Structure 1
Amino acid sequence: MNEQQARRRAPAMDPEQRRAMIVAAALPLVIEYGPLVTTAKIARAAGIGEGTIFRVFTDKEALLAACLEEALRPDDTLAHLEAISLDQPLPDRLTEAAEVMRGHMDRIGDVAGALASVGKAARPPAADAESPEEGRHRREAGLAAPRAALTSLFEPERDVLRMAPERLAETFQLLLMSAGRPGAPQPLEDGELVDLFLRGALIAGPKRSGEGGDG
Protein backbone atom coordinates (compact mmCIF):
# COMPACT_ATOMS: atom_id res chain seq x y z
CA MET A 1 0.00 0.00 0.00
CA ASN A 2 1.46 3.38 -0.98
CA GLU A 3 1.27 6.58 1.11
CA GLN A 4 -1.61 8.02 -0.90
CA GLN A 5 -3.72 4.89 -0.41
CA ALA A 6 -2.98 4.90 3.32
CA ARG A 7 -4.02 8.54 3.56
CA ARG A 8 -7.30 7.86 1.74
CA ARG A 9 -8.27 4.87 3.83
CA ALA A 10 -10.79 5.91 6.48
CA PRO A 11 -9.66 5.31 10.05
CA ALA A 12 -11.16 2.32 11.81
CA MET A 13 -14.15 3.42 13.88
CA ASP A 14 -17.49 2.03 14.99
CA PRO A 15 -20.70 2.97 13.12
CA GLU A 16 -21.68 5.71 15.58
CA GLN A 17 -18.27 7.34 15.35
CA ARG A 18 -18.39 7.19 11.57
CA ARG A 19 -21.90 8.62 11.55
CA ALA A 20 -20.81 11.52 13.78
CA MET A 21 -17.77 12.17 11.59
CA ILE A 22 -19.86 12.28 8.41
CA VAL A 23 -22.46 14.61 9.96
CA ALA A 24 -19.71 16.93 11.23
CA ALA A 25 -18.26 17.15 7.72
CA ALA A 26 -21.71 17.60 6.16
CA LEU A 27 -23.04 20.36 8.43
CA PRO A 28 -21.07 23.30 7.01
CA LEU A 29 -21.78 22.08 3.47
CA VAL A 30 -25.51 21.84 4.19
CA ILE A 31 -25.42 25.41 5.48
CA GLU A 32 -23.61 26.55 2.33
CA TYR A 33 -25.42 24.52 -0.33
CA GLY A 34 -28.65 23.35 1.32
CA PRO A 35 -30.12 20.04 0.10
CA LEU A 36 -28.36 20.52 -3.23
CA VAL A 37 -25.07 19.47 -1.66
CA THR A 38 -23.92 16.19 -3.17
CA THR A 39 -22.86 13.13 -1.24
CA ALA A 40 -19.68 13.16 -3.31
CA LYS A 41 -18.82 16.61 -1.94
CA ILE A 42 -19.58 15.47 1.60
CA ALA A 43 -17.42 12.39 1.14
CA ARG A 44 -14.49 14.53 -0.03
CA ALA A 45 -14.86 16.81 2.99
CA ALA A 46 -14.93 13.78 5.30
CA GLY A 47 -11.96 12.13 3.58
CA ILE A 48 -13.90 8.95 2.79
CA GLY A 49 -15.31 7.21 -0.25
CA GLU A 50 -18.85 8.11 -1.25
CA GLY A 51 -19.98 4.53 -0.71
CA THR A 52 -19.05 4.79 2.96
CA ILE A 53 -21.85 7.32 3.45
CA PHE A 54 -24.42 4.81 2.26
CA ARG A 55 -23.11 2.16 4.62
CA VAL A 56 -24.15 4.49 7.45
CA PHE A 57 -27.18 6.32 6.00
CA THR A 58 -29.89 4.76 3.86
CA ASP A 59 -29.95 7.78 1.52
CA LYS A 60 -29.12 11.50 1.35
CA GLU A 61 -32.46 12.38 2.94
CA ALA A 62 -31.46 10.44 6.05
CA LEU A 63 -28.13 12.28 6.14
CA LEU A 64 -29.84 15.68 5.85
CA ALA A 65 -32.23 14.72 8.65
CA ALA A 66 -29.27 13.73 10.81
CA CYS A 67 -27.66 17.12 10.16
CA LEU A 68 -30.77 18.91 11.39
CA GLU A 69 -30.96 16.64 14.40
CA GLU A 70 -27.31 17.39 15.21
CA ALA A 71 -27.88 21.15 14.91
CA LEU A 72 -30.74 20.87 17.41
CA ARG A 73 -28.70 18.94 19.97
CA PRO A 74 -27.90 21.08 23.03
CA ASP A 75 -24.87 19.06 24.18
CA ASP A 76 -22.13 21.49 23.13
CA THR A 77 -24.19 24.45 24.30
CA LEU A 78 -24.68 22.86 27.71
CA ALA A 79 -20.99 22.07 28.03
CA HIS A 80 -20.07 25.69 27.30
CA LEU A 81 -22.72 27.07 29.66
CA GLU A 82 -21.58 24.78 32.45
CA ALA A 83 -17.96 25.85 31.89
CA ILE A 84 -18.69 29.55 32.50
CA SER A 85 -16.76 30.63 35.57
CA LEU A 86 -18.89 31.76 38.51
CA ASP A 87 -15.96 33.90 39.67
CA GLN A 88 -16.88 36.45 37.01
CA PRO A 89 -19.34 39.28 37.76
CA LEU A 90 -22.93 38.39 36.90
CA PRO A 91 -23.09 40.66 33.79
CA ASP A 92 -20.00 38.95 32.37
CA ARG A 93 -21.44 35.49 33.07
CA LEU A 94 -24.68 36.35 31.33
CA THR A 95 -22.93 37.98 28.36
CA GLU A 96 -20.87 34.82 27.85
CA ALA A 97 -24.02 32.72 28.16
CA ALA A 98 -25.79 34.91 25.60
CA GLU A 99 -22.91 34.44 23.15
CA VAL A 100 -23.06 30.66 23.60
CA MET A 101 -26.81 30.43 23.16
CA ARG A 102 -26.88 32.83 20.22
CA GLY A 103 -24.28 30.68 18.48
CA HIS A 104 -26.45 27.59 19.03
CA MET A 105 -29.56 29.33 17.71
CA ASP A 106 -27.66 30.69 14.72
CA ARG A 107 -26.52 27.18 13.79
CA ILE A 108 -30.08 25.84 14.05
CA GLY A 109 -31.31 28.73 11.92
CA ASP A 110 -28.59 28.23 9.32
CA VAL A 111 -29.27 24.51 8.89
CA ALA A 112 -33.07 24.79 9.06
CA GLY A 113 -33.03 27.75 6.68
CA ALA A 114 -30.80 25.95 4.20
CA LEU A 115 -33.10 22.93 4.13
CA ALA A 116 -36.30 25.00 4.01
CA SER A 117 -34.96 27.11 1.14
CA VAL A 118 -35.96 24.43 -1.35
CA GLY A 119 -38.97 23.08 0.48
CA LYS A 120 -37.38 20.62 2.87
CA ALA A 121 -39.16 20.40 6.22
CA ALA A 122 -37.10 22.01 8.96
CA ARG A 123 -38.15 19.41 11.53
CA PRO A 124 -36.20 16.78 13.44
CA PRO A 125 -36.83 13.22 12.20
CA ALA A 126 -38.72 12.19 15.35
CA ALA A 127 -41.21 15.04 14.94
CA ASP A 128 -43.02 13.42 12.02
CA ALA A 129 -44.32 10.53 14.12
CA GLU A 130 -45.18 12.36 17.34
CA SER A 131 -48.45 13.78 18.64
CA PRO A 132 -48.82 17.50 19.48
CA GLU A 133 -48.50 16.63 23.17
CA GLU A 134 -45.33 14.62 22.54
CA GLY A 135 -43.97 17.51 20.50
CA ARG A 136 -44.64 19.93 23.35
CA HIS A 137 -42.85 17.66 25.83
CA ARG A 138 -39.89 17.23 23.45
CA ARG A 139 -39.52 20.99 23.03
CA GLU A 140 -39.79 21.58 26.76
CA ALA A 141 -37.17 18.91 27.44
CA GLY A 142 -34.86 20.64 24.97
CA LEU A 143 -35.24 23.92 26.87
CA ALA A 144 -35.00 22.49 30.39
CA ALA A 145 -31.30 21.62 30.46
CA PRO A 146 -30.05 25.00 29.16
CA ARG A 147 -32.43 26.72 31.60
CA ALA A 148 -30.93 24.77 34.49
CA ALA A 149 -27.45 25.83 33.39
CA LEU A 150 -28.58 29.45 33.23
CA THR A 151 -30.11 29.13 36.69
CA SER A 152 -26.73 28.20 38.11
CA LEU A 153 -25.28 31.45 36.72
CA PHE A 154 -27.76 33.47 38.78
CA GLU A 155 -27.43 31.34 41.91
CA PRO A 156 -24.44 33.13 43.56
CA GLU A 157 -26.48 36.36 43.67
CA ARG A 158 -29.65 34.73 45.01
CA ASP A 159 -29.75 36.95 48.12
CA VAL A 160 -29.76 40.19 46.11
CA LEU A 161 -32.03 39.16 43.23
CA ARG A 162 -35.57 40.48 42.95
CA MET A 163 -36.78 37.07 41.76
CA ALA A 164 -35.68 33.48 42.23
CA PRO A 165 -32.81 32.38 39.97
CA GLU A 166 -35.12 29.84 38.33
CA ARG A 167 -37.60 32.50 37.19
CA LEU A 168 -34.89 34.85 36.03
CA ALA A 169 -33.22 32.06 34.05
CA GLU A 170 -36.49 31.21 32.32
CA THR A 171 -37.14 34.86 31.45
CA PHE A 172 -33.57 35.39 30.23
CA GLN A 173 -33.80 32.27 28.07
CA LEU A 174 -37.04 33.47 26.48
CA LEU A 175 -35.51 36.90 25.87
CA LEU A 176 -32.51 35.34 24.12
CA MET A 177 -34.74 33.16 21.97
CA SER A 178 -36.89 36.12 20.98
CA ALA A 179 -33.92 38.36 20.22
CA GLY A 180 -32.31 35.64 18.12
CA ARG A 181 -35.31 34.71 16.01
CA PRO A 182 -34.87 34.94 12.23
CA GLY A 183 -35.73 38.37 10.88
CA ALA A 184 -35.44 40.17 14.22
CA PRO A 185 -34.81 43.85 13.36
CA GLN A 186 -31.49 45.31 14.49
CA PRO A 187 -30.78 42.69 17.16
CA LEU A 188 -29.12 43.92 20.34
CA GLU A 189 -25.52 43.02 20.97
CA ASP A 190 -25.10 40.44 23.74
CA GLY A 191 -23.77 43.01 26.21
CA GLU A 192 -26.61 45.41 25.41
CA LEU A 193 -29.20 42.72 25.92
CA VAL A 194 -27.70 41.71 29.29
CA ASP A 195 -27.51 45.33 30.42
CA LEU A 196 -31.16 45.87 29.49
CA PHE A 197 -32.17 42.68 31.29
CA LEU A 198 -30.32 43.53 34.50
CA ARG A 199 -30.92 47.29 34.64
CA GLY A 200 -34.22 47.81 32.83
CA ALA A 201 -35.23 50.36 30.23
CA LEU A 202 -35.31 53.50 32.39
CA ILE A 203 -32.22 55.55 33.19
CA ALA A 204 -34.03 57.03 36.20
CA GLY A 205 -37.56 57.88 37.09
CA PRO A 206 -40.10 58.28 39.88
CA LYS A 207 -40.48 55.40 42.29
CA ARG A 208 -43.55 53.30 41.99
CA SER A 209 -46.10 53.47 44.76
CA GLY A 210 -44.86 51.64 47.83
CA GLU A 211 -41.16 51.66 46.84
CA GLY A 212 -39.91 53.69 49.74
CA GLY A 213 -39.27 57.42 49.95
CA ASP A 214 -39.03 59.91 52.76
CA GLY A 215 -42.74 59.65 53.60
Structure 2
Amino acid sequence: MTPETGKRAPAMAPEDRRRMIVRTVLPLVVEHGREVTTAQIARAAGIGEGTIFRVFQDKDELPLAERLREAVGALTAHPRRMGAARRHPVEGRNRKSVTGDSRRESYDAMHSAVRELFVPDATRLRLPVEKAASLFLSMLFAQSGPLPGAPDPPR
Protein backbone atom coordinates (compact mmCIF):
# COMPACT_ATOMS: atom_id res chain seq x y z
CA MET A 1 0.00 0.00 0.00
CA THR A 2 1.21 3.47 -0.79
CA PRO A 3 1.43 5.84 2.17
CA GLU A 4 -0.36 8.65 0.31
CA THR A 5 -3.41 6.74 -0.90
CA GLY A 6 -3.58 3.65 1.25
CA LYS A 7 -4.07 1.67 -1.98
CA ARG A 8 -1.87 -1.00 -3.51
CA ALA A 9 0.40 0.00 -6.38
CA PRO A 10 -0.78 -1.35 -9.76
CA ALA A 11 0.49 -4.82 -10.62
CA MET A 12 3.65 -4.83 -12.75
CA ALA A 13 6.08 -7.42 -13.93
CA PRO A 14 9.21 -7.41 -11.71
CA GLU A 15 11.43 -6.03 -14.51
CA ASP A 16 8.95 -3.22 -15.23
CA ARG A 17 8.79 -2.42 -11.51
CA ARG A 18 12.60 -2.38 -11.34
CA ARG A 19 12.82 0.03 -14.30
CA MET A 20 10.19 2.31 -12.79
CA ILE A 21 12.06 2.44 -9.48
CA VAL A 22 15.41 3.10 -11.18
CA ARG A 23 13.89 6.02 -13.16
CA THR A 24 12.58 7.45 -9.91
CA VAL A 25 15.92 7.23 -8.10
CA LEU A 26 18.13 9.45 -10.30
CA PRO A 27 16.40 12.79 -9.57
CA LEU A 28 16.42 11.89 -5.86
CA VAL A 29 20.14 11.16 -5.98
CA VAL A 30 20.67 14.57 -7.62
CA GLU A 31 18.82 16.18 -4.74
CA HIS A 32 19.92 14.05 -1.76
CA GLY A 33 23.06 12.15 -2.82
CA ARG A 34 23.70 8.75 -1.26
CA GLU A 35 21.66 9.81 1.75
CA VAL A 36 18.42 9.31 -0.20
CA THR A 37 16.24 6.93 1.80
CA THR A 38 14.10 4.06 0.64
CA ALA A 39 11.14 5.93 2.14
CA GLN A 40 11.85 8.90 -0.15
CA ILE A 41 12.20 6.56 -3.13
CA ALA A 42 8.93 4.82 -2.30
CA ARG A 43 7.06 8.12 -1.90
CA ALA A 44 8.39 9.46 -5.21
CA ALA A 45 7.53 6.20 -7.01
CA GLY A 46 4.08 6.00 -5.42
CA ILE A 47 4.79 2.59 -3.89
CA GLY A 48 5.36 1.15 -0.44
CA GLU A 49 8.88 0.59 0.87
CA GLY A 50 8.27 -3.16 0.92
CA THR A 51 7.83 -3.10 -2.85
CA ILE A 52 11.40 -1.82 -3.23
CA PHE A 53 12.75 -4.69 -1.17
CA ARG A 54 10.80 -7.24 -3.22
CA VAL A 55 12.79 -6.25 -6.33
CA PHE A 56 16.09 -5.01 -4.80
CA GLN A 57 18.07 -6.12 -1.75
CA ASP A 58 18.99 -2.49 -1.06
CA LYS A 59 19.33 0.78 -2.97
CA ASP A 60 22.88 -0.08 -4.09
CA GLU A 61 21.96 -3.49 -5.54
CA LEU A 62 21.18 -2.24 -9.03
CA PRO A 63 23.79 -3.41 -11.54
CA LEU A 64 26.04 -0.61 -12.80
CA ALA A 65 25.09 -1.15 -16.44
CA GLU A 66 21.39 -0.84 -15.62
CA ARG A 67 21.98 2.26 -13.49
CA LEU A 68 23.90 3.88 -16.34
CA ARG A 69 21.29 2.97 -18.98
CA GLU A 70 18.61 4.61 -16.88
CA ALA A 71 20.87 7.62 -16.33
CA VAL A 72 21.26 8.05 -20.09
CA GLY A 73 17.50 8.30 -20.48
CA ALA A 74 17.12 10.74 -17.60
CA LEU A 75 20.08 12.91 -18.56
CA THR A 76 19.25 13.17 -22.25
CA ALA A 77 15.74 14.28 -21.26
CA HIS A 78 17.17 16.89 -18.84
CA PRO A 79 17.72 19.68 -21.44
CA ARG A 80 14.17 19.18 -22.75
CA ARG A 81 12.77 19.43 -19.21
CA MET A 82 14.81 22.57 -18.55
CA GLY A 83 13.49 24.19 -21.75
CA ALA A 84 9.92 23.24 -20.88
CA ALA A 85 10.35 24.63 -17.37
CA ARG A 86 11.49 27.95 -18.83
CA ARG A 87 8.53 28.06 -21.22
CA HIS A 88 5.96 26.96 -18.62
CA PRO A 89 7.18 27.91 -15.14
CA VAL A 90 5.37 26.42 -12.17
CA GLU A 91 5.12 28.65 -9.14
CA GLY A 92 7.46 27.58 -6.36
CA ARG A 93 9.20 25.03 -8.56
CA ASN A 94 11.92 27.10 -10.18
CA ARG A 95 14.98 26.83 -8.01
CA LYS A 96 17.04 29.99 -7.73
CA SER A 97 20.71 29.84 -8.55
CA VAL A 98 22.90 29.86 -5.49
CA THR A 99 26.04 31.11 -7.25
CA GLY A 100 24.46 33.01 -10.13
CA ASP A 101 25.70 30.37 -12.58
CA SER A 102 22.69 28.08 -12.95
CA ARG A 103 24.21 26.21 -15.91
CA ARG A 104 27.27 25.29 -13.85
CA GLU A 105 25.06 24.31 -10.91
CA SER A 106 23.00 22.08 -13.21
CA TYR A 107 26.15 20.40 -14.54
CA ASP A 108 27.52 19.94 -11.01
CA ALA A 109 24.23 18.35 -9.90
CA MET A 110 24.27 15.96 -12.88
CA HIS A 111 27.94 15.10 -12.27
CA SER A 112 27.28 14.47 -8.60
CA ALA A 113 24.33 12.18 -9.39
CA VAL A 114 26.31 10.23 -11.99
CA ARG A 115 29.25 9.99 -9.60
CA GLU A 116 26.95 8.39 -7.02
CA LEU A 117 25.92 5.77 -9.59
CA PHE A 118 29.54 4.58 -9.76
CA VAL A 119 30.21 4.55 -5.99
CA PRO A 120 28.86 1.04 -5.24
CA ASP A 121 31.23 -0.36 -7.90
CA ALA A 122 34.26 1.82 -7.06
CA THR A 123 36.50 -1.15 -6.21
CA ARG A 124 35.82 -2.76 -9.60
CA LEU A 125 36.55 0.37 -11.68
CA ARG A 126 39.88 1.08 -13.35
CA LEU A 127 39.39 4.83 -12.88
CA PRO A 128 38.56 6.84 -9.79
CA VAL A 129 34.80 7.41 -9.43
CA GLU A 130 35.19 11.14 -10.14
CA LYS A 131 36.93 10.50 -13.47
CA ALA A 132 34.50 7.74 -14.44
CA ALA A 133 31.57 10.13 -13.91
CA SER A 134 33.25 12.87 -15.96
CA LEU A 135 34.08 10.44 -18.76
CA PHE A 136 30.53 9.07 -18.79
CA LEU A 137 29.04 12.57 -19.11
CA SER A 138 31.57 13.55 -21.77
CA MET A 139 30.74 10.51 -23.89
CA LEU A 140 27.01 10.94 -23.35
CA PHE A 141 26.95 14.51 -24.57
CA ALA A 142 29.79 14.32 -27.15
CA GLN A 143 27.34 14.03 -30.04
CA SER A 144 25.56 17.28 -29.21
CA GLY A 145 28.58 19.43 -28.40
CA PRO A 146 29.80 20.61 -25.01
CA LEU A 147 27.57 20.05 -22.04
CA PRO A 148 26.11 23.33 -20.80
CA GLY A 149 28.02 24.49 -17.74
CA ALA A 150 30.75 21.87 -18.08
CA PRO A 151 34.32 23.01 -17.53
CA ASP A 152 36.39 23.56 -20.66
CA PRO A 153 38.37 20.46 -21.66
CA PRO A 154 42.13 20.57 -21.00
CA ARG A 155 44.22 21.79 -23.93
With the length of structure 1 as denominator, give the TM-score of the two structures.
Answer: 0.38
**Structure 1: 5+ residue runs without aligned partners?**
81-105, 148-172, 186-215
Mapped to 1, the partners of 2:75 and 2:114 lie a distance apart of: 22
Q: Output the amino acid matched with 1:183.
A: P
- Residue in structure 2 matched with residue 42 of structure 1 by the alignment: 41
**Contact 2:30–2:110 (CA<8 Å) still a contact in 1?**
yes
* Alignment deviations for residues 86-133 of structure 1 (CA, whole Å, 9 cap, x no partner): xxxxxxxxxxxxxxxxxxxx68x63441364xxx574796x9378xxx
Equivalent residue runs for 1:1-215 within 5 Å: 4-5=5-6, 8-63=7-62, 65=64, 66-72=66-72, 110-114=109-113, 116=115, 120=116, 122=118, 128=124, 173=144, 176-177=145-146, 180=148, 182-184=150-152
Q: Deviations over 1:35-85 (max 9, x none)?
A: 1110111001111111111221221112495544411359967xx9xxxxx
Give the alignment's Cα RMSD to 1 decimal.
4.4
Give the Cα–Cα distance (whole angstroms) in 2 for the partners of residues 114 and 15 of structure 1: 25
**How many residues of Structure 1 are paired with residues of Structure 2 in the alignment?**
113
Alpha-carbon distance between aligned partners in 2 of 1:181 and 1:38, rounded to the nearest angstrom: 29
- Return 5+ residue gaps in structure 2 as ranges: 81-105, 127-131
| CA separation of 1:68 and 1:25: change in aligned 2, threshold 3 A | same
Contact 1:30 1:111 in 2 (8 A): no
**Identity among equivalent pairs (%):** 44
- Which structure dedicates a bigger proportion of its chain to helix? 1
Higher radius of gyration, 1 or 2 = 1
Task: Give the secondary-structure state (helix, strand or coil) at the position aligned to 2:60.
Answer: helix
